Structure 1
Amino acid sequence: MTSQTTVKTLLILGASGDLTGRLLLPGLARLVAKGRAGGLSLVGAGSDSLTADQWRTRVSETFAAAEGAADGDGRAALKAMAESTEYHAVDVTAEGALAGLLGSLPGPVAVYFALPPHVSQLACEALHPDQVPAGTRLVMEKPFGSGAESARDLNGTLVRLVPEDHIHRVDHFLGKATVLNILGLRFANNFLEPVWNRDHIERVEIIFDEDLALEGRAGYYDGAGALRDMIQSHLLQIMALVALEAPATIQERDLRDAVSAVLRASSIKAPYASSTRRARYTAGNISGKDVPDYVREEGVDPARNTETLAEVQVAIDNWRWKGVPFILRSGKALGTKRKEAVITFRPVPHLPGGFSGLDSPNQLRIGFGPDTLQLDLDVNGPGDIFTLNRITLKSELNASELLPYGEVLEGVLNGDPLLSVRGDTAEDCWRIVEPVLRSWNRGDVPLEEYDAGGPGPEGWLAVPPNGSAKE
């Protein structure tokens, strides 16, 4: 079914940058190809002196790759948008510059800040409320601010310009299909929800391991690191979805209230040498490609001691989860790409005598991108009926026809903030990780090392890939 957009113009600031070329334009192209961005105009802007032809060429080349997913109408829409798009060379931090551009575009306008966080902050501070046309939506990339205080300041700046429900703090890992798949699994199965608590679950691990190294992104990543880049921005949100109480509806207010309640109850406990770990990769080989030491990657400052792998144990101090460790891990240049949540149940209190074979806790694995479900069970046989064997029930979950950034953009264009991070939640995520960052800066937690292409430092994870828990 085709959905009609209420936004008339998508304005991308930082249009010549990596984020725009690698993620935004492909996501928009799929959205247009599927007929789900009717009547939308695309405008690019940035400090780079691109010509109009150079910008149109960039858009056309990206859109051409989406033609295979389009019917005749979709291909016509892609061509029309690519031919009509504009580019404006402008310093958006200069007084009046962004306001003038906004006032010249057909509204409502969605302004996508595909810029470094400090530049986005300056651009917003250069705007005055009376310079922002009614209906304007502001779309902010992660990380949102550089800490709890700067996130509060940025929230204050944004809500002076537009209402909270017109602010979209992007988390592209929270695709609509992923969110609904987790909620459907949890709350549509009566056998599952009664055991979804501290009495029956031993621990929860949320793992986002990448088999990519820096890939030319040192300018951003070396100033962020794995804890800021992934755990603060994304994994805490996924943790909240796994842990939240049943909302009355899946409308944005009920759902985001439930997410906020989990994060308010969450913290990482000191001493951080026990509850957190950090490491960075050294030279190695990933899929036949040699990878240098992280500190020798172009653009890296070794003195920053930036971690490329982080693991933290989060405590959720409420009735349901008190005492259950939530272990969040993310890293780069690892040998196996893993994006999953692993829920490990407590072992049975007593196995009747006479049974033999495998006896380890049941696990439920929720995979992300593509979304999958695996449930490990111990059953009798085959062969000796008294011997228990591990079987795995597997299923693919619903997948979106859009790319992750296409889902994000569709929410922005249609005024649906469901996939956006609310202001109070963004601040809470920083509150949770800031004490750890301060501890790491003091050197309280050693910076370990691991070979690129390897599994990471020995003994970090309780749950290995596609295996049972270590005892």
Structure 2
Amino acid sequence: MIGRLVVFGATGDLNARYLLPGLAALRAAGHLDDGFQLVCADRKDWDDEGFRGWAAEQLDRHASSSPADARSWVARATRFRRADATDPADLASLIAGDGPVALYFALPPAVFPGAVTAVRGAGLPRGSRLVLEKPFGENLTDAQELNRLLSEVVPEQAVFRVDHFLAMTTVQNLLGSRLANRVLEPLWHSAHIAEIEIVWDESLTLEDRAGYYDGVGALKDMVQNHLLQVLCLVAMEPPLSLSERDLRDRKIDVLRSVRPLTDEDVLRRTRRARYLAGRIGDRRVPAYVDEDGVDPQGRTETFAEVELRLDSWRWSGTTFRLRTGKALEHDRKEVAVRFRPVPHLPFGHSGDAVPNVLRFGLDPESVTLALTGIGPGPQTLTPLTMTAQMEPADLPAYGRLLLDVLRGDAALSIRGDEAEEAWRVLAPVMSAWSDDLVPLEEYPAGSSGPGPRDQ
């Protein structure tokens, strides 16, 4: 297990909200000993004392569930260094020392090529690992070039393209529910499943992230970055094991099976929109273009929906709908598996049987099965709903990912060819949207999203 971690972009939101709390959880669980070395680097002109005070505040704010002594240890154990991730000399001074090091680039995708090039110039100790937060590049060409640069620095097994969605308990439970229960897997194909929705709708707005979000938008931030990963776990063939090779091979099979979208497909099967001013609960929300840091002349979407088809034996005839939106009325974060209706009802006219739906709640974590049963009257039908709440995970998602990095377990990391295939799936959508072939709709903040689509 690697005992040194260097985090670049250390004063950013990712480190404050997720990495530092993940390290506190690892310390509380006994995975980090007193010899663990944590260096946080950024271009800001801070010192150890100033950064430790900031880190303590962020840990108290975002890691309150971790014991106080674990939070205090992380803040005290951290050393801060002013450094530029694209400067080979700065990198060389940070990675100097005995043994391998894990370099975590908590930076915008545009910085990755320069940072990886600098690593090559700095000289990396044998056995070291590089961690890059998704999105991996900004398009297919970027991903291909970045993979080429990485291959010149470290072997593929030492590259961790992380997506915290894959470490979420319920996302992991998609595989558990499918593969550990005989009752589900025989039904897990198009003969029984009409549609699978993968949804991440949230009432949150920008939350001071305009500097990142306005250059990315909902399609790249959520659909390409996270929801395609969930699609892979939902639609993949049963792997021989959950080892790195077996799991990743089956995931890329799914992406390769996605039917390429034509311009006509993009027009009919995708939607984009952004929010207007409105009210979410008791909070007044400005229009997206009026948010601090947003370019009002830009065309960034805050809502994206993409309908995909898979050309495979298992899934021919099933629709996969990936949807995400910001500033909506309610949070809805789930995978909804919608089964086909039964072929015949022998109950006369005493009601309709609603098609069964199996829902995996992503946040909060739950599993719900909607069935139909006999009601109180003679041969009347009534909905039956069964819900199971998931036990809290031993580690938060980023705690799990950091532990995998330090241990060298890449099963939940994105392999290079998979990163490229994910961009290839959405390249036609990105191109058509860039050319304004699909209208940029609008919806009031606090609503359910854009209204019914014009036929």
Specify if TM > 0.5.
Answer: yes
CA contact (8 A) 1:344 1:363 kept: yes
CA pair 137-195 structure 1, distance change in 2 beyond 3 A: same
Runs of 4+ deviating beyond 6 Å? none
Indicate yes or no: 2:296 matched with 1:302: yes
- Give SS of 1:290's match: strand
Distance in 2, Cα, partners of 1:177 & 1:50:
36
- Residue of 183, 207, 212 corresponding to 2:199: 207
Counterpart Cα distance in 2 of 1:435 and 1:15: 35
Distance 1:231 1:276 in 2: 12
Which residue identity does 1:9 align to in structure 2?
R
CA distance in 1, matches of 2:269, 2:181: 33
Shift of 1:120: 2.2
Aligned amino acid, residue 429 of structure 1 = A
In structure 2, the partner of 1:189 is 181
Residue of structure 1 equivalent to 2:25:
30
Q: Is 2:17–2:58's contact at 8 Å kept on the other side of the alignment?
A: no
Of the candidates 283, 286, 289, which is equivalent to residue 292 of structure 1?
Answer: 286
User: 2:322 is matched with which residue?
Assistant: 328
User: Among 419, 429, 443, which residue is 2:412 paired with?
Assistant: 419
Q: In structure 2, what residue type is equivalent to 1:15?
A: A
1:336 and 1:49 mapped to 2: Cα distance? 41
Cα distance between partner residues in 1 of 2:410 and 2:418: 13
Quote how far apart the aligned CAs of 1:129 are: 7.0
- State the match for 2:54 in structure 1: 58
- Cα shift at 1:68: 5.5
Contact 1:9 1:109 in 2 (8 A): yes
* Partner SS for 1:356: coil
Partners of 1:264 and 1:218 lie apart in 2 by 33
- Conserved in 2, the CA contact under 8 Å of 1:281 and 1:449? yes
CA separation of 1:371 and 1:319: change in aligned 2, threshold 3 A: same
1:17 corresponds in structure 2 to 12
- Tell me how large the CA RMSD over aligned residues is: 1.7
Q: How does 1:229-248 map to 2 (within 5 A)?
A: 229-248=221-240
Aligned to 2:271: 277
Q: Hey, what's the Cα distance between the residues in 2 that align with 1:240 and 1:9?
A: 32
Q: Which residue of 1 aligns with 2:242?
A: 250
Contact 2:139 2:427 survives alignment (8 Å): yes
Amino acid at match of 1:58: W
1:151 deviates by 0.4
1:244–1:11: structure 2 CA closer, same or farther, 3 Å change rule?
same
CA deviations over 1:124-160 (Å, ceiling 9, x no partner): 1122277010111111011100111110111111122
Q: What is the aligned partner in structure 2 of residue 348 from structure 1?
A: 342
2:171 & 2:442 partners in 1: Cα distance?
Answer: 34
- Partner AA of 1:274 in structure 2: R
Q: Do the aligned residues in 1 keep the contact of 2:24 with 2:66 (CA within 8 Å)?
A: no
Q: Deviation per CA, 1:275-308, whole angstroms, max 9, x where unpaired?
A: 1000000001112111101111111113321110
**Which residue number corresponds to residue 133 of structure 1?**
125
The SS at the match of 1:128 is: helix
Residue number among 424, 440, 453 corresponding to 2:446 in the alignment: 453
Equivalent pair of 1:380/1:389 in contact (CA under 8 Å):
yes
Structure 1 pair 112/396, CA: closer, same or farther in 2 (3 Å)?
A: same
Tell me, in whole angstroms, the C-alpha distance in 1 between the residues paired with 2:199 and 2:172.
Answer: 19
- TM-score of the aligned structures, taking structure 1 as reference length: 0.91
* Equivalent residue number for residue 315 of structure 1: 309
Query: Which stretch of the first structure deviates more once superposed, 423-432 or 268-277?
Result: 268-277
* Paired letter, 1:348: V
Find the counterpart in structure 1 of residue 111 from structure 2. 119
**Counterpart of 2:340 in structure 1: which amino acid?**
R
Deviations 1:53-112 (A, max 9, x none): 111112233345647633xxx82x5444432321111122123321232124x4321111
CA contact (8 A) 1:377 1:390 kept: yes
User: How much does 1:351 deviate?
Assistant: 1.1
Measure, in 1, the Cα distance between the counterparts of 2:124 and 2:191.
52
- SS at the partner of 2:371? strand
Q: Does 1:46 align with 2:39?
A: no
Whether 1:384 and 2:380 are equivalent positions in the alignment is no
> Alpha carbons of 1:456 and 1:179: their partners in 2 closer, same or farther (altered >3 Å)?
closer
In structure 1, distance between residues paired with 2:85 and 2:374: 66
Structure-2-length-normalised TM-score: 0.95
Residue aligning to 1:439:
432
Instruction: Tell me whether 33-42 or 109-118 shows the greater mean CA deviation.
Output: 33-42
The CA distance in 2 between the partners of 1:251 and 1:431, in whole Å, is: 25
SS at match of 1:417: coil
Alpha-carbon offset, residue 349 of structure 1? 1.1
Alignment-derived partner of residue 469 in structure 1 = none
Offset of residue 453 of structure 1: 1.0
Cα distance, 1:439 vs. partner? 0.3
Number of equivalenced pairs: 449
Matched residue type, 1:19: L
CA apart distance, 1:178: 3.1
Partner of 1:465: none
**Is 1:428 aligned to 2:421, yes or no?**
yes
Q: Contact 2:170–2:361 (CA<8 Å) still a contact in 1?
A: no
Distance of 1:362 and 1:123 partners within structure 2: 49
The one-letter amino acid of 2:66's match is A
Partner of 1:109: 101
Q: Give distance in 2, aligned partners of 1:267 and 1:292.
A: 38
Distance in 1 separating the partners of 2:349 and 2:410: 52
For 2:400, the equivalent position in structure 1 comes to 407
SS in structure 2 of the partner of residue 204 of structure 1: strand
Aligned counterparts of 2:194 and 2:100: Cα–Cα separation in 1: 49
1:224: how far off? 0.5
Which amino acid letter does the alignment assign opposite residue 36 of structure 2?
L
Could you say if the C-alpha distance between residues 321 and 13 of structure 1 is closer, same or farther in structure 2, counting changes exceeding 3 Å? same
Q: Gaps (5+ residues) in structure 2?
A: none
Distance in 2, matches of 1:177 and 1:194, equals 23
Per-residue deviation at 1:451? 0.8
Which of 370, 389, 393 is matched with 1:396 structurally? 389
Aligned-partner SS, 2:367? strand
For 1:164 and 1:129, locate their aligned partners in 2 and report how far apart those are by CA, in whole Å: 18
**Which residue type is aligned with residue 355 of structure 2?**
P
